[in-house]
Structure 1
């Protein structure tokens, strides 16, 4: 691709300077959301960020695309002009191995063919009863507590662990909760550390970061192997219809061969971590917002009451995408997308937003910022579920992307939304949510999560 007068050169893309030696790396490491949001406000829809020295081979410039039209181009052309071979992608692959979320090309297409049928809306609906049972279990446990305050984040992590564990493995996982909740933050920190490391050091170099990374990987592999062994035992006792059992029965669409035990382990680990985290984070932030807005909460509760008065079931309410309850959960994901940022890499020279982008350039897609674009989200920091009701949803498709988009859209979207809807319906049918903190204090790694307790009360209605 040649640069014409109509296409501006790469070095003309506006952006903050940073310091001479490390560029913007210190600001990015200390407050990535603040840096990305403020630079969007100052420089617009396409922003350049320099990481590393101003001159020399370690200099790296990454572009962020914030406008939905630019995001559309990036995500829809993934696997063609944009790839995923970014620093973060490679770090995740180093941790969990080959799988749907860590590969490209023909391997990814074959794996998508195997996994996609397991997560269609019709297939996911089969898990409604187990989701409802685990929602009731969480609420019953809370009702028995003397101290009515609870850490909402911990409760939602426990709910999602039970739901995802039963759906994937058909077995109870409460006894590994502590182990898992220690390993996942370490995994997130390890991925972030390797993503931002300049220069990149092979894992064979025994730095403290590399040693922690390898210990975490070993712990995750050991944990998922033990869980899968339980799943195999569950299959022999008649509880055979799990996602893992279906992976065992699946066949490669090209070779007709079954998945190896290592391939099943890798896919199960990725699905377990991603499904557990995204469901729990979406519920934590969404329910906290509902608890902060009593008028919205009363409307959702009245909607649930009316649904049941008309003979509707809890499952029907949770599966209905047109309810105010679903809208409130969607608005929570707008404000607090679990995956706040992802990355693509230009495979060829191309044009983006009127600028020349050389092959090999990394480009950030940042739902956290795009979800706050004032052109599409007036008063963007305000919690307003009516944005997702009826005709008010007339916005560009990629102005809202909590589950990504294009060919790499998250296959667990329907599962996460159904699990969230089931919990919300069960909770507001009998309780009121009282959020005691105005804001949730967050830590930002490769996902966003609370960095301390989210104190909440479920009061009986």
Structure 2
């Protein structure tokens, strides 16, 4: 797979024909993950999905790239594949211009400013906090009790990131955030998939709901910021106030701090909660693997988590937009075309993942892990836009797994999980498990 000279004639990218007027939109809305997988199995590593009518002037194409080399090209060439897509525009409208949604020079300045807050050494300083919260969650369990793993992991992850940001004040706002986050995610995804998106100022029922949820989320953050004085606290909020761009010495503005806090709260806790939920469910379905992990070393705990994120990547798909004509695998990608990469599909590519639906943490141990090409696995994205919170999330998740599995044996009570692929991957119903003391 190459990305060099353009072919002399455009090559038709294969894909499903879809509905004559709506293209693949109904299928993507009804079953996003299944539609992407079916496209891969039927059409290969590069697939086009029609958005809208088949006639060129009444619709557009979404090109999905599934081969690791194509994924590498998309994620590591920001000069060719930009972030101004329908999905990121909707997230910006919901969350403002934080690190997740900003672009260009603004993003570069924010990344330079925030990177020192997420070095492995800085992140290790939160180990005691994470351990205390893990012990708190584990201590709530009763022998033989049935729990909803996603609800439990959501509370854990939100408390960890909330306490890291602004201490115990997270207690006051956690219930509201846990209620609002799925609404915000659902509304953002729905807005990004509209063929015609009216400006938010147009008072349609959907726009009013969107604006209300965004306002409610900002109101929560504003209440905390309003009653906080920096003082001598050593939390992430104080570090955000103190942070400076190493090139210019410029601090973050109040609006930028507000947007970063909201992004960290939402994106930080949603993805980690999902990774833990799905990993624990898989371990609860495979007791022999669970016993190995419970009594194994940290490498095996981490491998189980990585395999959980292979099968259930929290960021199941991400989108870019071609800012210039380019080529992938011999196919011409025209300027302006939305281009999608999907860990959900690439993590199941049989060329790199034998028996791809099987849960096998050993894939991430020893030579098997080292020998795979880089972009066969990318739950944290890639290129310069890779997730800044990767070290934080991995530490937070492994602390919880070690703590919970040391005390309890987890038995998953549901053979299959129904999924809701919003901005992040979520279970569509409670993920039931029984906890038995060891």
TM-score range, shorter chain: over 0.9
Counterpart secondary structure, 2:62: strand
Q: Does structure 2 retain, via aligned residues, the 8 Å contact 1:8–1:354?
A: no
How far apart in 2 are the matches of 1:123 and 1:336?
A: 28
Partner of 1:30: 30
How far apart in 2 are the matches of 1:243 and 1:55?
A: 51
2:308 corresponds, among 332, 339, 343, to: 332
* Cα shift at 1:200: 2.0
Measured against aligned partners, the alpha-carbon deviations of 1:235-269 in whole angstroms (never above 9, x if no partner) come to 44x5x111111110012345433222111000110
- Could you tell me which runs of 5 or more consecutive residues in structure 1 were left unpaired when the two chains were aligned: 305-316, 318-322
1:400 corresponds, among 367, 377, 392, to: 377
Q: Quick check: 9-18 or 113-122, which moved more?
A: 9-18
- Asked if 1:382 corresponds to 2:358, the answer is yes
1:251 corresponds, among 234, 244, 248, to: 244
How far apart in 2 are the matches of 1:450 and 1:437?
A: 12
How far apart in 2 are the matches of 1:353 and 1:8?
A: 14
How far apart in 2 are the matches of 1:437 and 1:174?
A: 31
* Cα shift at 1:105: 1.4
Moved over 4 A (4+): 8-11
Once superposed, what is the RMSD of the aligned Cα atoms?
1.8
* Cα shift at 1:355: 1.2
How far apart in 2 are the matches of 1:328 and 1:223?
A: 35
2:282 corresponds, among 289, 309, 321, to: 289
Which residues in structure 2 correspond to 1:15-414 (within 5 Å)?
15-78=15-78, 80-143=79-142, 148-230=145-227, 232-233=228-229, 235-236=230-231, 238=232, 240-303=233-296, 317=298, 323-393=299-369, 394-414=371-391
Q: Does structure 2 retain, via aligned residues, the 8 Å contact 1:62–1:362?
A: yes
Q: Does structure 1 retain, via aligned residues, the 8 Å contact 2:169–2:224?
A: no
How far apart in 1 are the matches of 2:419 and 2:10?
A: 34
Counterpart secondary structure, 1:50: strand
TM-score normalised by L of structure 1:
0.91
How far apart in 2 are the matches of 1:61 and 1:335?
A: 27
How far apart in 2 are the matches of 1:9 and 1:289?
A: 47
- Could you tell me which runs of 5 or more consecutive residues in structure 2 were left unpaired when the two chains were aligned: none
Q: Does structure 2 retain, via aligned residues, the 8 Å contact 1:169–1:228?
A: no
How far apart in 2 are the matches of 1:217 and 1:302?
A: 44
* Cα shift at 1:43: 0.4
Partner of 2:415: 438
Counterpart secondary structure, 1:202: coil
* Cα shift at 1:174: 3.2
How far apart in 1 are the matches of 2:277 and 2:337?
A: 35
* Cα shift at 1:9: 4.7
Q: Does structure 1 retain, via aligned residues, the 8 Å contact 2:5–2:327?
A: no
* Cα shift at 1:97: 1.3
Aligned residue pairs total 435
Q: Does structure 1 retain, via aligned residues, the 8 Å contact 2:11–2:330?
A: no
How far apart in 2 are the matches of 1:164 and 1:249?
A: 19
* Cα shift at 1:5: 10
TM-score normalised by L of structure 2:
0.96
